């Protein structure tokens, strides 16, 4: 399963949070990545992927259309926020992981069994609110509806089961109900995770369609620091996105692409530090000084990510890959909080 990339909010929160976990079938799942929100430029919210440019049609809720429509731009931003919320500490992947680790099928009613209902209900509410906003985003709206439906099915079973385990009612019925519903609970979690992956794919495609236009707008405006930040986040997302599955950690072709991306990003970050230093000498407003300082922190975090990538190349370690993704996610968090 590919990592899910956390998108940046206007003006960034990839769970890759627990870099991997083993499901009931023992399959290693890679961490999910946060999605980057768009860049606020001179009052215009421009939303696009933090990854490279992609394909997209202009007539069915494309990113180009979203950038020109306040309603669809706001909806895209709300979808991004809802997706990122699902990746929080008590989000869908973490709650599913906790449930599966309880291994109800092999437990005895004399044992202490605990599960979590997480914050899925709040996160589902955010998604539902985003869906209700005006504006048509075509396939992305459809993917959001599928995810919403899947989350409601999870909640309908999980909430009563949480009460069942929390009150230790399973000891009164010999764990009968718990075992009877276990397989279906796991299936509903898996269906929701699949719907989340599909929603992420649609969201990334929607955002990436306008990436080149966004960069052109930033460059034309003379905002070198903003342009460099946007381009750096795109290249960083492409770098972490190379590691889609465990086998990629030992694939020479993957590292050949990674080396090229790392070199390009490293050069860009050096240019960014110079651009930030130059801009600081001209900054007059506190908000601009703050933006430049955070841009510097983003560049530093991406520099750490490059170092961790090179460590991954040497170690082929999932733990080192987790550290690389974590640095990317921290950069996303900083960029999403850019004033």
pLDDT at 259 over 90: yes
Whether residues 288 and 306 fall in one domain: yes
Predicted confidence at residue 214, as pLDDT, reads: 82
The predicted model gives 161-175 an average pLDDT of 98
What is the residue-wise DSSP string for 20-44? EEE-TT--EEEPP-PEE--EEETTE
Instruction: Please enumerate in sequence order all residues whose Cβ is within 8 A of that of 70, keeping only pairs 6 or more positions apart, or say none.
Output: 45
The predicted model gives 287-304 an average pLDDT of 96
Q: Which of 187, 209, 231 is the last residue of a domain?
A: 209
Chain centre to alpha carbon of residue 78: 13
Whether residues 173 and 94 fall in one domain: yes
The predicted model gives 314-319 an average pLDDT of 95
Domain enclosing residue 120, as ranges:
61-209
pLDDT at 167 over 50: yes
Residue 47: helix, strand or coil by DSSP? coil
Q: Which of 209, 236, 265 is the last residue of a domain?
A: 209
Whether residues 67 and 201 fall in one domain: yes
CA distance 32 to 91: 12
The predicted model gives 224-231 an average pLDDT of 95
Q: Which of 170, 194, 209 is the last residue of a domain?
A: 209
Q: How far is CA 315 from CA 85, 250, 310, in A?
A: 32, 9, 9
- Tokens read off for 132: 């209700």
Predicted confidence at residue 273, as pLDDT, reads: 96
The predicted model gives 170-184 an average pLDDT of 98
Whether residues 85 and 175 fall in one domain: yes
Predicted confidence at residue 32, as pLDDT, reads: 64
User: Which range has highest mean pLDDT (89-93, 160-164, 279-283, 335-339)?
Assistant: 160-164
Predicted confidence at residue 23, as pLDDT, reads: 26
- Tokens read off for 283: 């900054």
Higher pLDDT, 128 or 57: 128
Domain count, the chain: 2
Contact at 8 Å (CB) between 215 and 232? no
Whether residues 230 and 334 fall in one domain: yes
- Tokens read off for 52: 């490279």
How far the first Cα of the chain sits from its last, in Å, is 34
CA angle 102-103-106, nearest 5°?
135
Residue pointed to by tokens 């620091």: 225
pLDDT at 305 over 70: yes
Instruction: Please enumerate in sequence order all residues whose Cβ is within 8 A of that of 119, keeping only pairs 6 or more positions apart, or say none.
Output: 85, 88, 90, 91, 95
Whether residues 205 and 271 fall in one domain: no
Predicted confidence at residue 169, as pLDDT, reads: 98
Whether residues 69 and 205 fall in one domain: yes
Q: CB-based burial of residue 132 (10 Å sphere; 0-12 exposed, 13-18 middle, 19+ buried)?
A: exposed
Whether residues 108 and 71 fall in one domain: yes
pLDDT digits (tens, 9 = 90+) for 9-24: 433 333 333 232 222 2
Predicted confidence at residue 51, as pLDDT, reads: 33
Whether residues 95 and 215 fall in one domain: no
Mean predicted lDDT score pLDDT of the chain: 83
Whether residues 71 and 178 fall in one domain: yes
Whether residues 163 and 245 fall in one domain: no
Predicted confidence at residue 63, as pLDDT, reads: 45
Nearest to 326 by CA among 5, 37, 16: 16
How much is the pTM? Answer: 0.68
pLDDT digits (tens, 9 = 90+) for 93-150: 999 999 999 999 999 999 999 999 999 999 999 999 999 999 999 999 999 999 999 9
Continuous segment of H or E residues that includes residue 20: strand 20-22
Kindly give the pairing relationship between strand 35-36 and strand 6-7: parallel
pLDDT digits (tens, 9 = 90+) for 19-52: 322 222 222 335 566 666 543 222 222 222 333 3
- Tokens read off for 119: 């914050």
pLDDT at 218 over 50: yes
Whether residues 170 and 226 fall in one domain: no
- Tokens read off for 202: 């649609």
Residue pointed to by tokens 């869906």: 131
């Amino acid at each position: 399963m590919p990592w899910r990339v956390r998108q940046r909010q206007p003006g960034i929160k990839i769970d890759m949070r627990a870099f991997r976990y083993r499901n009931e079938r023992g399959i290693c799942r890679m961490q999910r990545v946060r999605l980057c929100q768009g860049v606020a430029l001179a009052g215009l919210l421009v939303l696009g992927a933090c990854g490279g440019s992609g394909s997209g049609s202009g007539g069915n809720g494309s990113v180009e259309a979203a950038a020109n429509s306040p309603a669809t731009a706001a909806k895209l931003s709300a979808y991004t926020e809802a997706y990122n919320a699902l990746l929080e500490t008590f989000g869908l992947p973490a709650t599913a992981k906790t449930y599966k680790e309880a291994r109800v099928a092999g437990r005895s009613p004399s044992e202490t069994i605990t599960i979590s209902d997480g914050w899925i209900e709040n996160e589902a509410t955010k998604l539902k609110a985003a869906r209700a906003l005006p504006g048509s985003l075509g396939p992305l709206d459809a993917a959001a509806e599928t995810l919403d439906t899947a989350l409601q099915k999870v909640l309908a079973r999980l909430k009563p089961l949480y009460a069942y385990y929390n009150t230790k009612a399973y000891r009164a019925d010999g764990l009968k109900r718990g075992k009877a519903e276990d397989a279906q609970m796991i299936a509903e979690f898996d269906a929701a995770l699949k719907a989340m992956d599909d929603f992420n794919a649609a969201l990334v495609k929607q955002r990436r369609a306008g990436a080149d236009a966004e960069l052109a707008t930033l460059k034309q405006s003379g905002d070198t620091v903003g342009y460099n930040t946007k381009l750096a986040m795109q290249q960083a997302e492409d770098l972490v996105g190379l590691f889609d599955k465990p086998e990629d950690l030992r694939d020479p072709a993957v590292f050949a692409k990674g080396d090229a991306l790392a070199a390009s990003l490293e050069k860009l970050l050096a240019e960014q530090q110079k651009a930030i230093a130059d801009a600081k000498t001209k900054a007059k407003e506190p908000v601009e000084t703050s933006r430049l300082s955070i841009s510097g922190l983003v560049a530093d975090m991406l520099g750490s990510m490059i170092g961790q990538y090179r460590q991954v190349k040497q170690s082929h370690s999932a733990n080192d890959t987790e550290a690389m993704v974590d640095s990317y996610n921290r950069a996303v968090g900083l960029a999403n909080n850019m004033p």
